[in-house]
Amino acid sequence: MEVGFLGLAIMVKAMSMNLLKNGFEVTVWNRTLSKVVFDKDGVLERIGGGKGYIDMSTVDPETSTKISAAIISKGASFLEAPVSGSEQPAETGQLVILAAGDKALYEEVIPAFDVLGKKSFFLGQIGNGAKMKLVVNMIMGSVVRSKRRIKVVTATCSPFWEETTALFVDGCYHFWMSLDMRFFDKRWRELQLRSVVNAFSERLVLAERSGLNPSNLLDVLDLGATAIPMFRVKGPAMPKSSYSCQFVISFKEAKSMGLGDLDFSAVYEILKASKE
């Protein structure tokens, strides 16, 4: 199979090398996105029937839709395929590929995707790949922010901050419950746990409202840096309104909705019921 990369960045270099090592013919051009597609001598002047264009950059759904329409107008096939991962996963072929668009083109390039990543997903219509990437990035940002917060606090008041930060990586719920009570009161622990659950619930609702399958989102999260046991345990039950209680929810909104005796993950119901 012949593969061309338009735009050579750090991750693309690693991806190109992996394809070359696995017998693919690879050609690379170092161009910006606008020059790649729409400028003089860009893709639109050369592409036609029988060819496929795969956009693996991180763009918004509107941009992906615009590029798709332009490529399809020339008789070619289009697939968006942003990736979840950074330079190191790119080098080791451990990216997660979030594809959407032409199903036949996706199936044709699966051998290449299998080299580039540990898992690829076909998410349906154009825009879904970009939406999934943005939701995953938002969740990752929330996790990183929480980890930094606890690292700062524990480094200040606990001699066990390194072990405490490691517990966060192993699982948010067990992390908060294991904090040394000599340094952290119950109220503070509950507030930090809620912040993580709230952020996760908001993104899960956003994914559903954007037309994404929550199961796909949970699968993607479990394959990357966001593979937190709490998401794995609580996530599948939340869209099913199943809240086996481990930690009682105590929001005023929850009590007014008759959810006050349910597990903290039932905050998802409050967010799902909101209009915005």
Pick the catalytic residue from 133, 147, 186, 272: 133
Regarding beta strands 83-84 and 95-101, do their DSSP bridges make them parallel or antiparallel, or are they unpaired?
antiparallel
Residue count of the chain, please give it: 276
d(CA 244, CA 112): 42
Q: Residue 61 is which amino acid?
A: P
d(CA 100, CA 121): 8
List 77's β-bridge partners, or say none: 52
With 0-12 CB in 10 A as exposed, 13-18 as middle and 19+ as buried, what is 131? buried
- Map tokens 């759904």 to a residue: 61
Residue 133 annotated in active site: yes
Q: Which residues are catalytic?
A: 133
